[in-house]
Structure 1
Amino acid sequence: MKILLINPTGHKIGMDHFLSAPPLGLMTLAATVPEHEVKILDLRNYNFSQDYVEKQIKKYDIIGVSCSTSMINETLKLCKIAKENDVKTVVGGYHVSLVPETALYPEIDVTVRGEGEVTFPKLVDALEYGKDLKKVKGLYFSSGITNGNQLIRTEDRPIIDINTSPFPRRDLVRFYDYHYFWASIDAIESSRGCPFNCHFCCEAGHWGRGWRPKTPERVIEEFHHMDKNKRWFIFNDSESTLDMKRMQKIAELSIEYGYHKKWKSCQGRVTDVVHNPRILDKMADAGWRMMFIGIESIHQKSIDTIGKGIKIKDIKNAVKMLHDRGITIFGSIIIGNLGETADDVRATIRFAQDLDIDIMQFTPLTPYPSTRLYQQAVENNWIVDRNFENWNLVRPIMRSDMLTADEIFELVKWAYRDFYFRFREKHINSFFIRAIRRFIPNLKFWWFWKMAPKFVINGLKNSKPFIADLTSKEYAARFKAKKQKKVKKMMERADKKRDIKINGLTEKLEKKVKEKSAAVPIVKLN
């Protein structure tokens, strides 16, 4: 059969402008059906015309779409085109695992819940030969309108050992330009899932509870299949550092096989960082140049409520340890945590500034389906926008127990303004000192300088309310007044220093004149 796997466009917002990653999930699914003709259409990272997309869909027997929550409307549009041309529609991804009722849409034939390495080839076989879908584990589908449009859930499929997964079909995406802050990248999944239970996180709802790592040997073997012309190797995991001994072995093997020349980035936990300084040294030697860490809040009560399982002191120590090893920090903070006031949020932003975290993203608290936060939000009637298309981590779609959705949005905008536009002398000095100490000597962070001016501008490109507010006359006036006030204070300080210096010099001159006058003999003239 001819199979077209589609990565929908979605809405590019915030960090999406700086990270363009290959669709590893679709690439892996493609590898599970080698006997079939497969193509990947990556709409998220390439601007194909609508006419081209429709023509492509018509050529295939099955389309498979990867769907996150904010992409559901676009997914349905793609599936509608397929159904109108007698093409079977299969949908997978986080959203269909979290919202089973998605399978009841008439545009969708069947959804795959959870991981699809085993389910997908069996589903394709069933669709090709007209077999009973009820015998394929891990599916949702509708009984049909004539049978009452009931949701049918087949038996759960046991989770797999991801070390047995086939290598992703990288040949199907060779012509796409994937990048990380304008440096070319390839990506790897070195682990799957997360053992923690953060109340906002939907990892467990999709992958199941627990963390499943690939062995260091399997990771290096996958490095062998990755594009050697790419500058970055990105670890596309929710948590890469839970087993730091594994990371040490990966680092050692990276050095042994020459992969230390590739820059690497991963997501880590601050507790793993602070308790393993020697392993962190080895990671830095093996090419680690950036680590994403979820800070979420400075307030321990909020951290405990979230279920994050970290301590504030660990955040401070982790930041220092990473910076000392030349590893740039990409941090994340949630705006609108339960129990937090506007002042609490501002304190968290100041905390991130004082720590000199290099890059920050600020996201409104979002209750994805199946999470504990979602249940709490529904029970308390906190959700104010039920259009899933807007659940994109930019616009708040819920209020909290302390803040309205509008107040949360204002704080998100304020956070970006204050973090990226608040050029205090202290932060400028520390930024350049750190740049000289870490970036300049080995010239490995040229991209950071290239990224800096674009980060603020492009990062909010599709978020018109941000741009409108940041460029408004009112904000410009406030910004100008603030700058004028700062300049006035700086001039006053300069004048004061000058006056002190002049007065000091005057006193010294007067003293010297008196001393010289006293030393000169006085001759009396008759």
Structure 2
Amino acid sequence: MRVRFIEPRPPGHHVYDRALLPRLGCPLMATMLRERGHDAYCYCDVLASVDVDDCLRADLVGISATTSTQPYAYRLADELETAGVPVVLGGPHVTFMADEGLEHASYVVRGEGEHTICQLVQAVDREESPANIAGLSWRDTDRRAHHNPPRGPCSQQQFQALPIPDLSLIHGHERMTTKPLMTQWGCPYDCEFCAVTAMFSRSVRYRRTDQILTELAGLDAERVFFHDDLFVVNKNRTRDLLRQMLARDLTPQWLAQVRAAETVLLSKASRQPDLELLRLMRDAGCWMVMVGFESISDDALKQMNKKQTVRDIVDAVDLFHRYGIKVHGMFVIGTDTDTAEQADHTVQFAKRVAIDTIQLMIETPLPGTRLYRRAQAEGRIITTDWALYDGHHAVMRPARMHPLDLQRAMLDAMRRFYSQPNIAIPAARTLLRHAPSFARIALRNHVPAQLPTLAALALRHRWHDLLDTLTTGLPKTDRRVIEDALAVPVLRAYGREQITEWQSQDHTRTHLDLLATLP
């Protein structure tokens, strides 16, 4: 069978616009189908445009979306189904909104879909009924909806038997500068606002260290993003992986999502730092951690069921920085304990503890979460325009402020963090501190000849292009010195650009107008 997979582009501007990084579900399923003799291929819209004509020639098209990308997924599904191409939808949104999904597609995969999709393709290929495929919702020829029994999460044995996703099956894969790799599924925690546990369960399934090392070697990447919901869950396993990476000289620069205290401390009771793990992370190439700090209010953290304190945040930032690891802090505002001042307090806190970059998101009730069910029950949901459910828009009435005040507070706070002084001062300090190293690198690599080009890019505020131009062709060691030194000011400059562009887009302005009409 000819099967195509699509991962739609997020709507408008968002914090990860320049992250040319696909999720791994589509290439994994395509790899599994290839192994079974099918013609499978993927389109990730952030890497390269979807070839709709190619999809129209397919026997089945799978579209994997999140809540904010679901409207685009529905439009694609409508176009393909109208042309007679059956579509199967998957991902966290339709897992919990299957009836809605069936208004646009013949099939919906609920939950983990890797084995479900293989059984569905076999059934379609053999013209058999899908009635016995667990985890599948489908429409019959009379357009009646059927919801088969759920499929449980895959076992540890099944997870380890999954193949390495073939990234070359993604159209435009050569554009990836950072490559994704997943070492485990699931999260043992249960935050109120997060759909991960509902989608993948709280049962964490691990790949063997040798499997991860084989995939890492095959990626041949200078930078890797570990796509795990949490990279550090079982510390013994993490230490073993990092030691083996060092032993085999598989140490690209890498990024990962981690928790705060659970990563940097041996135990919360003793507050003793886990210096061995921090050293291993640094030596094995950890460049930046992305930490869900969520709030600087202990009351808010308790309401979220985060099992974390503000002290944990402060200690984590300090310890990561001691080992040269940059910190991207992810915060949520608009919780039931927050006032309009919370966003500004969060930025002041982030500056005080020297968090390198931040992501200030508005609490968003995603379908499948306890927060969504509570917001529905309390009548607080403002809109079900799913494209706005990206964390950048107020879609739920906060308890202690008007939603427009929340929206404006988020924007104002982000502008303050990504202000010109907060970009220029770190840049100046970096240039002064690294001036001798920069001079040596520049002279031995003929960088002065590039100064007119670099100046032109700077004048046009094209900071990422400037860094790419500066480092292209440099030896790996020199390139890493420059990238590491200039990363924070460049990322902050990028953040400032994104805020400006985000405010100017039509659907954001329309949403601000809507919020202004609310009582």
Pairwise TM-score range, normalised by the shorter structure: 0.7 to 0.9
Correspondences of 1:65-464 after superposition (within 5 Å) = 65-105=63-103, 107-143=104-140, 145=142, 149-161=144-156, 162-173=159-170, 175-179=172-176, 184-226=177-219, 228=220, 230-260=221-251, 262-275=252-265, 276-421=274-419, 423=421, 428=425, 432=429, 436=433, 442-446=481-485, 448=487, 449-458=489-498, 460-464=500-504
User: Post-superposition shift, 1:128?
Assistant: 0.8
Instruction: Give the drift of 1:150.
Output: 3.6
Q: Matches of 1:73 and 1:155 in 2, distance apart?
A: 25
Question: CA, structure 1 residues 108+429, in 2 after alignment: closer, same or farther (shift >3 Å)?
Answer: closer
Instruction: Give 1:317's aligned amino acid.
Output: D
Match of 1:513 in 2: none
User: What is the CA-CA distance between 1:430 and the residue it aligns to?
Assistant: 10
**Match of 1:78, SS?**
helix
Going from structure 1 to structure 2, the CA distance change for 1:205 and 1:433 (only over 3 Å counts) comes to: same
Change (3 A) 1:437 1:294: farther
CA–CA distance in 2 between the matches of 1:63 and 1:173? 14
- The alpha-carbon distance between structure 1 residues 390 and 316, as it changes in their structure 2 partners (threshold 3 A), is same
C-alpha separation between the residues in 2 aligned to 1:446 and 1:331?
Answer: 19
Letter in 1 for 2:27: M
Contact kept in structure 2, 1:245 and 1:279, CA below 8 Å? no
CA 1:272–1:178 in 2, change beyond 3 Å: closer, same or farther?
farther
Instruction: Show CA shifts across 1:141-167 (max 9, x none).
Output: 234546xx3442334244233222111
SS at match of 1:199: coil
Instruction: Read off the aligned partner of 1:445 and give its amino acid letter.
Output: D
**Unaligned segments of structure 2, at least 5 residues:** 266-273, 439-480, 510-519
The answer to whether the 8 A contact 2:297-2:310 is kept is yes
Listed one character per residue, the Cα deviations across residues 278-334 of structure 1 (whole Å, up to 9, x for unaligned) are: 111111001000000011111111101101111211111110111111111111111
Q: Residue 101 of structure 1 contacts residue 151 of structure 1 at CA under 8 Å; is this kept in 2?
A: no
SS of the residue corresponding to residue 140 of structure 1 reads: strand
Residue 455 of structure 1 aligns with an amino acid whose one-letter code is G
What SS is found at the alignment partner of 1:394?
Answer: coil
- Please state how far the C-alpha of 1:454 moved relative to its aligned partner: 2.7
Superposed displacement of residue 176, structure 1: 2.9
Contact 1:233 1:264 in 2 (8 A): yes
In the aligned structure 1, how far is the partner of 2:304 from the partner of 2:209? 31
Post-superposition offset of 1:211 = 2.1
CA distance in 2, matches of 1:164, 1:171: 20
Which residue of 38, 41, 44 corresponds with 2:43?
41
Letter in 2 for 1:199: E
Q: Deviations over 1:408-464 (max 9, x none)?
A: 101110111111117379x93798379948997944515615444233113553442
Aligned residues of 1:288 and 1:327 also touching (Cα < 8 A): yes
Do 1:14 and 1:461's aligned partners in 2 also have CA atoms closer than 8 Å?
no
The CA distance in 1 between the partners of 2:428 and 2:318, in whole Å, is 14
Equivalence for 1:515: none
Deviation sequence 1:320-355 (CA, Å, 0-9, x none)? 111111111111111111111123332222111101
Q: List runs of 5+ in structure 1 lacking aligned partners.
A: 470-526
Aligned-partner residue type, residue 171 of structure 1: S
Q: RMSD value over aligned CA atoms?
A: 2.7
Deviation at 1:95, TM superposition (A): 0.9
Please identify the structure whose Cα radius of gyration is greater. Answer: 1
C-alpha distance in 2 between matches for 1:203 and 1:311 = 21
Determine helix, strand or coil for the equivalent of 2:380. coil
Q: Distance in 2 between matches of 1:154 and 1:283?
A: 42
Q: How many residues align?
A: 454
CA distance in 2, matches of 1:466, 1:414: 19
Deviation at 1:43, TM superposition (A): 1.7
Cα distance in 2, alignment partners of residues 356 and 78 from structure 1: 43
- Aligned-partner residue type, residue 222 of structure 1: E
**Residue range with higher mean Cα deviation, 440-449 or 242-251:** 440-449
Moved more, 279-288 or 81-90: 81-90
Distance 2:292 2:374 in 1: 22
Distance 1:176-1:156 versus aligned 2 partners, 3 A rule: closer
Q: Which amino acid aligns with 1:232?
A: R
* Distance change (3 Å), C-alpha of 1:94 and 1:155: closer
Alpha-carbon distance, 1:217 to partner: 2.2
Change (3 A) 1:19 1:460: farther
- Report 1:495-510 matches (<5 A): none
Q: How big is each residue's C-alpha offset from its partner over 1:469-514, in whole Å with a ceiling of 9 and x where there is no partner? A: 9xxxxxxxxxxxxxxxxxxxxxxxxxxxxxxxxxxxxxxxxxxxxx
Counterpart mapping for 1:14-29 below 5 A:
14-29=14-29
Q: Which amino acid aligns with 1:14?
A: H
Secondary structure of 2:324's counterpart equals: coil
Distance 1:115 1:339 in 2: 34
Conservation of the 8 A alpha-carbon contact between 2:333 and 2:342: no
Contact 2:132 2:148 in 1 (8 A): no
1:220–1:463 CA distance, 2 compared to 1 (3 A): farther
**Partners of 2:91 and 2:285 in 1: CA distance:** 31
Secondary structure at the aligned position of 1:135 is classed as coil
3-state SS of the aligned residue for 1:290?
strand
